[in-house]
Every structure is written in structure tokens, then in C-alpha cells.
Amino acid sequence: MPPSDADQRQDPAYEPLHNEYDDPDILSSITDAETRQGLEGHEDFAVSPSPNTPDENGESNSDTASHSPTLGEPSNYKDEKLDGPEIVSARRYASSWFCWELTGIIVSAGLLAAIIIILKVYDHQPQPKWWHISLNSVISFLSTLSRASLMFSVGELIGQLKWVWFAQQEQPLSHLQSFDSASRGALGSLTLIWALRVQHFAGVGALAMVLALGFDPFSQLLIHTYDKLVVDPSGTALIGNATVYDTIGQLEYDKETSVAYVDPVLKANVYNSLFNTDPTRPWAIPQYSCSSTNCTWDAIASLEMRSLCSNITSALITNCSTFSNESVYAEKSNCNVTLPKGRLSASYTPGDFSFTTFSMNSILGYDAVVYTNATFIAIQYIAPRANLELLDDKRWSNSTQWEATECSLEPIVRSFRPKIFHNHYSDKTQAIWIQHNMTTTYNVHQSAGFNFTPESWGPDLGVHQNPQSFILSGDARKSIFYFLTAIFSGQATRSATELFFDPLDASWYAASDTLQALAVANISGCSEILSERLSCAMDNVAAAMSKTFRDAAYVADPASAAMTTGSAKVSEVYIVVYWAYLALPVLVWTLGAILVLGTLWKTRRARVPVWKNDTLPLLFLYRNQDEGMDLPQGSETEEASRHELVRLYNHDSRVFLGRCTDTEPQRP
């Protein structure tokens, strides 16, 4: 009886690893329902042609092993209707089989979106004050959950791609271990990338596993903090300003006709500016109240004083003559340097110890060289351009040059923005108003003297009503004029043995002390060059007088003083988000999403059971029976598995993990 077609069928060129599903009881022993469905659903798949392979005797078999992406079986089964179940529908490989992995990807995306929304809400906002939890903790918690959800899906899908890999063609048995390690962590993923040489789609998942190491650190790097000053609604910020200054000291004679002493507060502040060496310049800082260490104010307009100085050395006139024979300086030169109109001069004898250290005088505008329109007072000053060491028993050198300076003090209205930063006062000038009208009524009870009305100024410059006048009363002006004239008029002279200080008028104020300060003292902020000290001293005096004007109302009656209100600020921690660090978590998630879609497509295309990381299929595909393989033990197992080529295939309605026996094992 001739053999039937069924008898002529040949097995594929693989040696089954004792994994036939002959016994229905074996199938029923699979405890995992999904695994059982996958195993049973692949007993009856289409066969793809593959090249012929020689049998053990060198003859070519008609049956071939498939190298196509689908789960293969012998080619002579291609056109036959097999006994057993009908060919299963592609719906058996529908996306619902990956519902947990898809859920993991979606949950991870949702958590990433939650992180982005939270950070967007708090970007450049105060750090939230939550009960027993911080923003960093919330972001860390969400990022950890997002990463865990994503890595669950990635690990499962790498396990699924293992079956796709072995369904395509013969592969080294060691790749089973590589895929299994890759599904567990980054180190195994690096091993898989190296083993596959980036030739398989599983490399996407392996790369995601490796990059996921930076998921949590990069999420933490998103949040940075900085300190920002914010307004404290309960704080107070007050500072003095002046629209009128009419304070004077004790009257000298009859109050209707005489001159008054200067305001004692102004006098004390001016003396401090010349004699106090404190670098913080307390004599220049107005009275203020700040409940915190940081306060700001809008623009303030106030009556103040400013200093203007110019170098007038070019106006000096030098004359030298010879002493008479009867003089102790016989045959020596006697030189004088003077300014025009002969109001100020200094003398010296070349090569001698005696000379004028400096000379200064207070003048009116018509005697000035530069400030001919001075409305208050001008001061001229002549001194050598030399260090203070010149006063230490040294002869006059012919190389020493004389210099002259002219300064003017004048009242102004200044608009400025003050602020207190860490208890340090500073202000920034916005504008200055100098035009004024002058009345000649010198009565302290009237608004006489200098009147300033900045018509063009508005609230942005500190003027809140228009017109608003700023007044320096006539009596106050007169008392200040005589005070400055007294202390800035005189000269210092050095002889061979000592220094002399000769004030023009020492009856009212400490004129001699002022001369001494200019000659030898350490004036705050001033250099030790004699010719430069007047201009520096005038700046200090103007600042001290401005403070006096602004503090006058507060000093007179702190309770009723009309002070300007500002904003007290406190330091608060703010959040800033560095969005660039979000790139890595988004990249890892994108790789995971690509892996899900790609694995779903590859599984459907290869018609591979959805076993993922399930270990039961391996137990049933290879059962260690008596005729099992004789494999090396211990560390030699990995080396041996590299040369063992296996493939997942379908034969006679059964799924096999078969060993290739047709060709010589090749090292991958």
C-alpha cells in the first residue's frame, strides 16, 4: 500500500526539546489562564516558507524552517487543512492582551502631566506651605510612581519581544538570559543592547530601561528656589521728607531784627560729617521706621541741599619777591598765590619749612570765579597738591604745585526713591529742581526765603498736589549762611615747629576745629591729598544738611510728623522651574510608548503567544525528561548557551522550542 501524503511528511530540521503538548492534561495544568490561551491559540498557525536544510545524511529535506516574522512550521503543511482547532483570529492578539502595559503607559503619562501642571502652577510663585509635606516631596512621589508604572510596562514588553525574537529565526540560547535580565533593570538592558548589537526592536525598551535611571534625579532637578522680597501687609515703612524748613537756634538779640544761631541739630550733623570717621555715614541717613530689614518707597520729593565744586587752578596768580637784607629770610624768595579780586591768598618760601598749608574763604556770588550766580554761599580754597605728609617737618619743594577749588552750597528740591535693604539705607535720584523765588521777609513765622514750585512734576516724582511749594525760610537761611561762613573761613599755616589754625571768626562756632579737620583729620570718604579735601568735605556737609531738613518735623514732634509711607518687605522662598530637565522623563516615556505600539504590532504580525515574562511557557516548552540535554554546569552554562541555536516554532498543531541540528552551531 503506497504511503499517504501524511506519511511522507517530514519533521523540520529541529530537535524538539521534549515539549510536545500531547497530553491534554498538560495543557490543563497551566495555572495561568492567559498563558494557557496563548499556548493553545498557537497550535494551528500558517506556515511561511523557508530555505531547505540538509538532514543528518546530507540530503535535502522538502520541509524547511521559517525565517519569516511569523511563527513557523514545516512548509508541506502550508496548503493542508490540519486536524484540530481552526486557525485563530488575529483578535486573539488584540491590544486588550496588553491592557496592563497600556494602562501602565497611560498612568505614567497622567502622572507626568500632573507633575507638569503642578510645576506650571507654582513656577515663580511662593513655595507652598502644605502640612507636613513639601512640593519636592510631591514631585518625587509622582515621578517615582510614573517611573514605576512605565518600567513595569517596559519590562513586560521586553519579555514579550523575547518570544518575537526567537520566533523569527534561530537564535543563541543565551539570548533568553539576556532578554530576561533586560526586563529586570538597566544593567541587563545594557547587556541586551550589546548582545543584539542594536539589531532588534527590543533595543528601544533596553534604552528606556537605562535612561530611566535618571528619571527621578532629573525630576528633582526641575525645582529650584530663590529668595524674593514681598510686601508684608502688616508691616510699617515710614521715612522723613521736608516741604518746609524753618528751624533756627537761639536768637542772639532782638527776635525781630537779629540773627539767630543755627539749628543745633543741623550744627551737630554738620560737625559729625567733618569729625566722625564712621564709614556708614550716620549723619547722612534720614530718620525712618522699617518693621523688617527691607523697605521700599515710591518717589519722594523733598527740600535738600547740594554741593557743587570746580577746579579753578587756572585762575591762580603767583607773585614772588625777595626778602630785604634786614629780614631773617634775607635773599630768599617770598611767593604768594592769589585768586582774582585779592580775597584769598597763600604764601610759601621755596626750600623753607614755613608755608601756608591751605587758605579758604566764604564769599558771595559776585566775588566767585565759577559760581557767580550762587544764591546761597560760595567757598574758595587754595592748597598744595600734596599728601598730608607734607606737614611732617618737611621743606617746601619747588616741584609742589598749588591748586584752587571753588564750591557752592545751594538748596534744591530732589526727587528720589529710597530703600532699605538688609538695614542699609540708599536712594536713587530721579530729578532735581533748582528754580526758585526768593522773598526778603526774614521772619520765622512767615513763609519767606527760598520758594521752590516744581510745576511740571507729578506723582511719579513725588509731587501729589499741584502746585506744591518747598520752602527754606529766610531766618533759617540766614542762620545757615552765617554758620557756614564762620566754619569755612580761615587758614592753616605751618612753621618750622608747629601748625597754626587761624579762623576768620571763632566767636560763634567751632571754626578752628573745622580747619584742623581739613588739615590733618581723617574725614569720612576723603583722601589725604590736601587740594582735594574741601570738595569731599562739602559733599558730606550737604548730605548732613539734607538729613536735617528731612528730619526736622520728626525731631520736633515724632507723633504728628507727616512722614512718607512705603512698603515693608519680607523675604519669601519662591519656586523656579528649570523645564529643560523635563526632557529626560519625557524621552523615557516616549520610548516606552513607542515600545508598546511596536510590540503590539510585532506580536500581531508574528502571531506569537502573548507570554511576556511568564516563566510557565518555558517550563512546558522544555521539560527535563530522561532524555533531556546534557548541558555543562556552573559558569560554563552561559558559554555553552551561546553556541546553542534554538527557535520557537509550530509543528503538528503543537508549539516547540527546538534546537537547530541541521547546521554547525555558529557563535552569534
**DSSP-assigned letters across all residues of 387-425:** BGGGGTT-PPPTT--EEEEEEEEEEEEEEEEEEEETTEE
SS (H, E, C) 207-245: HHHHHHHHHHHHHHHCEEEEEEEEECCCCCEEECCCCEE
Q: Quote the CA–CA distance of 192 and 201 in Å, as a whole number.
A: 11
Chosen domain end from 526, 544, 571: 571
Q: Are residues 203 and 123 in the same domain?
A: yes
Q: Are residues 124 and 263 in the same domain?
A: no
623 Cβ neighbours under 8 A, 6+ residues apart: 18, 19
**467 and 346, same domain (yes or no):** yes
Same domain, 461 and 590: no
- Based on the fold, state whether residues 216 and 106 are members of the same structural domain: yes
Burial, 167: exposed, middle or buried (Cβ in 10 Å; 0-12, 13-18, 19+)? buried
Q: Which residues of the chain have pLDDT under 50?
A: 1-70, 72-96, 442-446, 623-638, 640, 663-668
Is residue 337 within a helix (H) or strand (E), and if so which, with residue range?
A: strand 333-338
Residue that the C-alpha cell 565759577 belongs to: 370
> Looking at 571, 600, 634, which one is the last position of a domain?
571
The length of the chain is 668
236 CB contacts (<8 Å, ≥6 apart)? 289, 290, 291, 568
Same domain, 557 and 582: no
Question: What pLDDT is stored for residue 122 in this prediction?
Answer: 93
Domain carrying residue 526: 237-571
Contact by Cβ (8 Å): 238, 291: no
pLDDT score of 667: 35
Do 606 and 552 fall within a single domain? no
Residues 190 and 242 in one domain: no
| Residue 656 domain flag | no
What pLDDT score does 454 carry?
A: 93
Task: Give residue 153's pLDDT.
Answer: 80
Q: How many domains does the chain have?
A: 2
Backbone φ and ψ for 473, nearest 5 degrees, come out as -65, 160
What cell was used for 199? 539589531
Tell me whether residue 230 is in a domain: no
DSSP 256: T
> Do 310 and 385 sit in the same domain of this protein?
yes
Grid coordinates of 316: 591762580
* Spatial distance between the Cα atoms of 522 and 505, rounded to a whole number of angstroms: 24
Domain-embedded: residue 666: no
Pairing type for strands 171-172 and 645-651 reads antiparallel
Domain-located, residue 658: no
- Can you give the pLDDT at residue 111? 94
> Would you say residue 475 lies in a domain?
yes
pLDDT of 156 reads: 76
Burial of 449 (0-12, 13-18, 19+ CB in 10 A): buried
pTM exceeds 0.75: no
According to the model, what pLDDT value does residue 560 have?
79
Same-domain pairing of 380 and 446: yes
261 lies in some domain: yes
Rounded Cα distance, 633 and 52, in Å? 34
CA dist 205 and 101 (Å) reads: 13
Same domain, 534 and 562: yes
Domain membership of residue 249 (yes or no) is yes
Residue 423 within a domain: yes
**Contact yes or no for 637/177 (Cβ under 8 A):** no
- Give the pLDDT of residue 453: 92
Q: Are residues 445 and 587 in the same domain?
A: no
